[in-house]
Structure 1
């Protein structure tokens, strides 16, 4: 449907509303929306629910169906190849199209403000992502993107959009945000008074909504949550769909106290989470939030998981094709034989008698161990060992603690760091308003 047809439909709908208003009282939220919409709306025009817009023209710049397909492929790739239904795929395409429209508006505004993102900047960021995140050369990453149905150009366009928007905000928004020393000092004093209380590292996906779009946005948010719980990458979904300023860094809010969320509902939700768990979608003023608890610690107190351990791992491989019952018997004999080892000085000799292998490491952070082992290690004294663990394929293992360097006390964020956090929050809110203004003033045409 072209823009002219869409405008004609709006005119018909407006006429219908004018007739309907004569006999219907406005709903409770009419004053909030400012539109005085009657409770019993009668649509005089029809909208085909099966109509899907494949392309759009944003201020004259075309977004093609191929652009959408390639960006969808990126999302599915980040979702670890999880299967989605045809309906979910259609919804994903619509969300990606909306995201591409925003991205186009951001790039256009940056160029209009004579803020250019150079090709070299994009290429350097692309190379850094390929090598640091995906552990590949750019040529290998190019090949992988094409193999999943996307393209290097699509990924680089996303990078360009993020850089353009960030540069635009840094020039047109950030310089005009001010947080006084008094505000930072007040927050610093509150933090000092709260030493020993919990601090949270949180990721967010924020989706804005209006009364008219509330139901659709809620449904989209619920689908995003389902896809993340099925193995999708929170970071990737935040980058693609979040409307918060943290989208470019995968939704990362950093370490904050719950009061900094400034919403009792969000605070209560996060308090119930364990690291790695999701909360949401949670309705908040202006939209919906999806949160993930990345980590948790005590303010101003050392995190015991930052301790560095000196460990010896003793491992015994199982013969290929061994029956599970036989493996259990060997594991029990292995654990029994090592039970009488007193300290790491006896480990090597005991392992040699069993035909087991020993690996030593003196700089192992507790956080670097699997979640299932972290709490066990924190409860061990020097010279003690974990219970045996393993599988039929990996054999059986035990870890002996040979030493432990506890972390030093954390003084918490400085006044300058707190001031920066407050500024970032205000910049993010102003950036959201900036993007809403760009959408409002845009000329967007949709074509089948």
Structure 2
């Protein structure tokens, strides 16, 4: 957040078209310290957009003042320097945001019980201020110094909260995922653990949304130059990206080899850590990829184990070991993974425990051969260790890494993705039914 920023470099002209050539994959290296304190920028020349109506959305108008305010907010939030080349892109993005917000506000108004309080808006402002290392008062003062009225930011936040609650309430049941979907996704994660993986940030410029593919390429090139000059990737992604990851600052997480379009895969293979790609043209739009990290497939065999044991000292006699073995073998036919711990707890002299999930290589050497080869549900013969004699049950097995997401994490990710998709469809339908006129 910059406390001094260009008040309004608002040229209403488009930058020159750039030829579609084959640039090198990397556009340059970014400073990964995206949360560095922002430095004040010098004041830049001001350019005016005339007052008056610039568009109507059903029965609501968007004025030149509204557009200037939104452009200023977009410039501050993305930290993109307004120039003669990119100001048309900023203006187009700001106008599109205003159109969508007007449609959202009109839809929210249809639900009288959906009221967003001032306290909710204040809480959101406080969170934004904390992210910028400011107090709420300092944050609002910085916006005011840049020419943004408090009403502008408060109404934008109020509409965003209302839309989020409307989409969540309307589509929550449709966004739910089944156990089969979660388990299938987990299996995909497990299979992917053997492949190369890329931790990336992404920005997606949708051609249809910005007026065509050439405009998308041109806009992507301008954003790349701004980021190389210091605009934070996360801030630019939040304001300009059409990908669902925009709400997370473009954080796409770990992407698996072969799960993206071939042009994106080629770029990921050739980018070094810390590098930002040139525009990557795919069907329908243009990607910008920031390579945060890479790793080769390093899948491990993970097993979940339960055990029943008889404690024995390392110097126990052969007769003691044999007696323990006979006792364990006598109960072995009746044991399952579900009953092992309870059975041990019910009989004196036996200890039972759930050993949890671990990599086979991290187990005691005596357990590794059985854990590596056994089928799920299989109970071992007695295994001798310095602690005693053990029966071990393999209660689960998967291929993966210790960083594999849990069932709940996958379920939550899928639900968020479904909600985002349903929200985009909702907005698409509202736009198709609306009467939108540009003046």
TM-score w.r.t. the length of structure 2 is 0.57
Report the secondary structure of 1:105's partner residue: helix
| Residue number among 266, 269, 272 corresponding to 2:267 in the alignment | 269
Report the secondary structure of 2:405's partner residue: coil
Q: Structure 2 matches for 1:197-208, cutoff 5 A?
A: 197-208=195-206
Question: Partner of 1:235 in structure 2?
Answer: 234
Q: Structure 2 matches for 1:332-351, cutoff 5 A?
A: none
Q: Deviations over 1:329-348 (max 9, x none)?
A: xxxxxxxxxxxxxxxxxxxx
In the aligned structure 2, how far is the partner of 1:418 from the partner of 1:260? 17
Cα displacement (A) at 1:122: 1.1
Whether the 8 Å CA contact 1:58–1:104 is kept in 2: the answer is yes
Cα displacement (A) at 1:413: 0.7
Cα displacement (A) at 1:197: 4.3
Question: Partner of 1:139 in structure 2?
Answer: 137
| Residue number among 408, 419, 426 corresponding to 2:411 in the alignment | 419
Report the secondary structure of 2:107's partner residue: helix
Cα displacement (A) at 1:299: 6.7
Question: Partner of 1:429 in structure 2?
Answer: 421
Whether the 8 Å CA contact 2:104–2:159 is kept in 1: the answer is yes
Question: Partner of 1:63 in structure 2?
Answer: 62
Cα displacement (A) at 1:53: 9.4
Cα displacement (A) at 1:298: 6.1
Q: Deviations over 1:375-403 (max 9, x none)?
A: xxxxxxxxxxxxxxxxxxxxxxxxxxxxx
Question: Partner of 2:154 in structure 1?
Answer: 156
In the aligned structure 1, how far is the partner of 2:165 from the partner of 2:418? 16
Query: How many residue pairs end up in the alignment?
Result: 289
In the aligned structure 1, how far is the partner of 2:194 from the partner of 2:170? 39
In the aligned structure 1, how far is the partner of 2:417 from the partner of 2:192? 21
Question: Partner of 1:371 in structure 2?
Answer: none
Cα displacement (A) at 1:257: 2.6
In the aligned structure 2, how far is the partner of 1:295 from the partner of 1:111? 45
Question: Partner of 1:184 in structure 2?
Answer: 182
In the aligned structure 2, how far is the partner of 1:147 from the partner of 1:68? 18
Structure number with the higher helix fraction is 1
Moved more, 58-67 or 287-296: 287-296
Q: Structure 2 matches for 1:99-114, cutoff 5 A?
A: 99-114=97-112
In the aligned structure 2, how far is the partner of 1:153 from the partner of 1:51? 21
Whether 1:173 and 2:171 are equivalent positions in the alignment is yes
Question: Partner of 2:435 in structure 1?
Answer: 443
In the aligned structure 2, how far is the partner of 1:153 from the partner of 1:283? 39
Question: Partner of 1:213 in structure 2?
Answer: 212
Cα displacement (A) at 1:126: 0.2
Whether the 8 Å CA contact 2:199–2:253 is kept in 1: the answer is yes
Whether the 8 Å CA contact 1:209–1:288 is kept in 2: the answer is yes
In the aligned structure 1, how far is the partner of 2:438 from the partner of 2:257? 42
Sort the Cα spacing of 1:428 and 1:145 in 2 relative to 1 into closer, same or farther, 3 A. Answer: same
In the aligned structure 2, how far is the partner of 1:53 from the partner of 1:266? 43
In the aligned structure 1, how far is the partner of 2:79 from the partner of 2:208? 32
Cα displacement (A) at 1:133: 1.4
Whether the 8 Å CA contact 1:73–1:148 is kept in 2: the answer is yes
Whether 1:287 and 2:279 are equivalent positions in the alignment is no
Whether the 8 Å CA contact 1:96–1:240 is kept in 2: the answer is no
Whether the 8 Å CA contact 1:222–1:281 is kept in 2: the answer is yes
Cα displacement (A) at 1:57: 2.1
Q: Structure 2 matches for 1:243-254, cutoff 5 A?
A: 243-254=242-253
Whether the 8 Å CA contact 2:224–2:278 is kept in 1: the answer is yes
Q: Structure 2 matches for 1:359-398, cutoff 5 A?
A: none
TM-score w.r.t. the length of structure 1 is 0.56
Whether the 8 Å CA contact 1:196–1:299 is kept in 2: the answer is yes
Sort the Cα spacing of 1:80 and 1:244 in 2 relative to 1 into closer, same or farther, 3 A. Answer: closer
Sort the Cα spacing of 1:426 and 1:79 in 2 relative to 1 into closer, same or farther, 3 A. Answer: closer
Gaps of 5+ in 2: 1-48, 301-400
Q: Structure 2 matches for 1:42-57, cutoff 5 A?
A: 55-57=54-56
Q: Deviations over 1:134-156 (max 9, x none)?
A: 22222222221111222333333
Cα displacement (A) at 1:121: 0.9
Report the secondary structure of 2:104's partner residue: helix
Q: Structure 2 matches for 1:115-130, cutoff 5 A?
A: 115-130=114-129
Sort the Cα spacing of 1:215 and 1:147 in 2 relative to 1 into closer, same or farther, 3 A. Answer: same
Question: Partner of 2:224 in structure 1?
Answer: 225
Report the secondary structure of 2:279's partner residue: strand
Whether the 8 Å CA contact 1:99–1:240 is kept in 2: the answer is no
Sort the Cα spacing of 1:235 and 1:108 in 2 relative to 1 into closer, same or farther, 3 A. Answer: farther
Q: CA RMSD in A?
A: 3.2
Whether the 8 Å CA contact 2:206–2:285 is kept in 1: the answer is yes
In the aligned structure 2, how far is the partner of 1:181 from the partner of 1:70? 46
In the aligned structure 2, how far is the partner of 1:231 from the partner of 1:78? 13
Cα displacement (A) at 1:178: 4.3
Q: Deviations over 1:252-281 (max 9, x none)?
A: 3334434454x2332332233334433353
In the aligned structure 2, how far is the partner of 1:111 from the partner of 1:259? 44
Whether 1:95 and 2:96 are equivalent positions in the alignment is no
